[in-house]
Chains A and B, each alone.
Chain A
Amino acid sequence: MNNISKEFPGVKALEDVSLRLRKGEAFALVGENGAGKSTLIKILSGVYSNDTGEVIINGQMVNIKGPKNAIDLGINTIYQETSLVQDITVAENIFLGRQPQTRWGRINWKEMIESSEKILRNLSIPLSPLSIVAELSAAQQQLIEIAKAFSREAKIIIMDEPTASITEEDTENLFNLIRRIVKTGTSIIYISHRIQEIFVIADMVKVLRDGKTVKTMKISETNENEIVKYMVGRDIGNIFGDKSYQSKENIVLQVQNLTTSGMFENISFDLKEGEILGFSGLVGAGRSEIVRAIFGLDEIEIGEIYLYGKKITSRKPDDVIKMGVAFVSEDRRLESIIQGFSVKANITILLLKEVLSKLRLIKRKKENDLAARYVREFDIKTPSLEQLVMNLSGGNQQKVALAKCLSTKPKILILDEPTKGIDVGAKKEIHTLIKELANRGVSIILVSSELPEIIGMCHRVVVIHEGRLMKIFEKEEINEENLMYAAVGNM
């Protein structure tokens, strides 16, 4: 790719970025959110067209006309969200749209299953071609996606944050698969926010910032600190800062024997005023389900929840919000914000009562002022208040979600993976914000899969394993070893 530029209304997403990928090379692309990584791969995979510049594959200049065309050219992209059809088998997914046929035009199941088996075996993926995709874990589905891309004779496989939502063990499997694929001559472009991973898997790394190339380096000639420095363009210092905390003993939220069969069982804990309570455990352990149930999004079969000593009876989010609880979902695309709404409409949705005129109509100016205040306060980078949230970077989307939730001045804030898929700079801003809130007396439940985040931020940590509460760790017991042991069920 040579001198690629792309402009969106109000934003220069890419400026003169070039990328040289060799056969059989694993190339890492890093940068903060909004740096232009996604734009670059979307141009390669045919989702966007480039304004200027050229794409050359094997010495031939190509014009990528769309996603289908990109695949025909040998460029396969694996996004964070799965693109597999959930209700059919692995084999059908691998051969989707190009199923082998018998002479009579019917699908040749025998051949399809055998070929799938061979593909999976060659890549050492221990899955049956006859499993239904929906029954596989997220990590397993990812392996299938890669196998599918590989079987289509991909020359280039692009992976957008493949490890964002899988466990460490699954990550190891994924890396082994990538190594095997690279050996066959297929090239990989790998996007990740986890810098450590890059050193394990990549040959080259390119750092992008504000749509420009900052540096392209051989992985063997650089180190973690250098990459982070190039990414943020400044020294970020101690990531988490100190854990100042005046122990307060007022209990604000009390959860007793919460049970929903198949989800979680007998969960009891207290949340104190001004405390950051971590929820740790493996993905799928039931952490999200517990906090969602507290917020009224999911059902509870047995158990009681007390807010300031008063029992909550309502199971509706709007009532829970009125009682001073706010919740930021881990799913930015579908839940925590409305992607098709403007920045303004997202921020003010809980506060519209404050911008009404005497006739109970929304006053445009008042609403704009209010939204502008939050945009300033949370340092949300957007060309205008009317910009649709879907056009913002992940970090800025998350800030919009936080601004919305905090607009009601909640006493209890529940955050589900608040820094998932967010760059280092925005992550730090969000961490600082959480601490400030806690210092001001807001009680926070922080669900996170990142141990450093849990250890660096939380005053106490609840560990969940397969829907059961293993242990609540106090300050001095919180360390990686203890949390990991509890998370896998060893006490």
Chain B
Amino acid sequence: MNVQKQHTSFKFRRSLARFFFNQAMLIVLLVFIIGMSLVAKDFLTVGNIFNIIRQITVHGIVACGMTIVVIGKGMDLSAASILALCAVVNVMLQPFGYLVAIVAAVAVGFIAGFINGYLIGKVKANFIIVTLGTSIFYKGVALIISGGRNLKSRPERIFHFIGDESLFGIPVLAYFLVVTMVFVGILLHKTISGRRLYAVGLNDRAARVAGINVSNVVMWSYIINGLIISLGSIVLTSRLPRIRVGTASTYLFDVITIVVLGGTALSGGVGGIYKTAIGLFIFAIINNGMALLSIPFEYQQLIKGVILILAVLYDEFNRRKRLMY
């Protein structure tokens, strides 16, 4: 009787512990929301929430692509450079009509993703070195074709509509973010390709034995990443009146922070869009909170660095926890 009781309370404690472990970042997010709304009275206003959404849409979209690549046990250090290159091409072709500009940006995203994917998936070169190299290369191309100038963006109304306006009371940007997340979520969790990507991320040898064409899966993960980044570039150029190559450069650091913070494992095969969404909102609140509390830029940098390190520690902690079970 007593033993039985002890046993149930033990079981209860364990399932509670597991809940906290699995949902740790959701809890962190809720704590941040409550904390911020207490500290900054403007935080929970409709205006500020829309403001946050505008600030994080591009981050969120690019993070979706990064999530795919990281689940496949890779990483794309050239993400910001692809974003810059697509944005520059988009802006420079806007005088020829928005369709031409958008199609060209998507094509550039595809090609950039293909180059990464081919070198990593088919040639089997190391992903860090490849994307580090292409990062410099794409940025160089973007600088050359833009001449390093600050380009004027958005001559057409459609870009203003995407960047500034609302539909049914919600910023148009939010729809882009949600649609991208839903699309990537379905791709990861509901399709054969998604399942194969997880298999490759977890164990590429076993995936190969199970008849999965590992190099194709890896290559396509980078191509889709490139396409998603090009979508991000369309949103970016719609939001800002002027674009230069440097505009995109901070995104790499932020996006990696978001993905890792959410709990998608750097060791591959674990994670998903739900996690990245939570990571994105935590990141957004910290960013917005620092602005509301008028923390100086230098200190913001410092805090961001600490957050990435904490996120990596969290990733390592998760990895060990998984091994224990």
Contacts and interface: CB of A to CB of B under 8 A. Distances in A.
A349 B191 contact: no
A53 interface: no
Given A361-B190, A362-B191, A388 B325 contact: yes
Interface in A144-159: none
Given A339-B203, A340-B202, A360-B191, A9 B209 contact: no
A327 interface: yes
A195 B158 CA distance: 77
A318 B213 contact: yes
A96 interface: no
B205 interface: yes
Given A9-B14, A9-B325, A341 B211 contact: no
B325 A337 contact: no
21 contacts: A7-B14, A9-B18, A48-B324, A51-B10, A297-B208, A318-B213, A334-B205, A335-B205, A335-B209, A338-B203, A338-B206, A338-B210, A339-B202, A340-B269, A349-B195, A349-B210, A352-B192, A360-B191, A361-B186, A361-B190, A388-B325
B33 interface: no
Interface in A362-410: 362, 388, 390-391, 404
B110 interface: no
Contacts of B89: none
Contacts of B212: 318, 349
Main secondary structure of the interface of A (DSSP, over half): mixed
Given A322-B211, A338-B206, 15 more contacts: A51-B10, A295-B209, A297-B209, A317-B210, A318-B211, A336-B209, A339-B206, A340-B202, A340-B270, A341-B199, A349-B195, A360-B191, A361-B186, A361-B191, A404-B210
A69 to B, nearest CB: 16
Contacts of A316: 213
Interface in B201-240: 202-203, 205-213
A8 interface: yes
B269 A329 contact: no
B283 interface: no
Interface residues of A, number: 36
Given A9-B325, A362-B190, A317 B211 contact: yes
Interface in A302-322: 316-318, 320-322
Nearest to B187: A361
Given A9-B14, A340-B203, A341-B202, A362 B211 contact: no
A350 B206 contact: no
B323 to A, nearest CB: 8
A345 interface: yes
Contact of B195 (A321, A322, A345): A345
A483 to B, nearest CB: 28
B198 interface: yes
Interface in A192-223: none
A352 B211 CA distance: 13
B245 to A, nearest CB: 39
Contacts of A322: 211
Contacts of B190: 361-362
Contacts of B189: 362
A317 B192 contact: no
B210 A353 contact: no
A317 B204 CA distance: 13
A380 to B, nearest CB: 17
B309 to A, nearest CB: 24
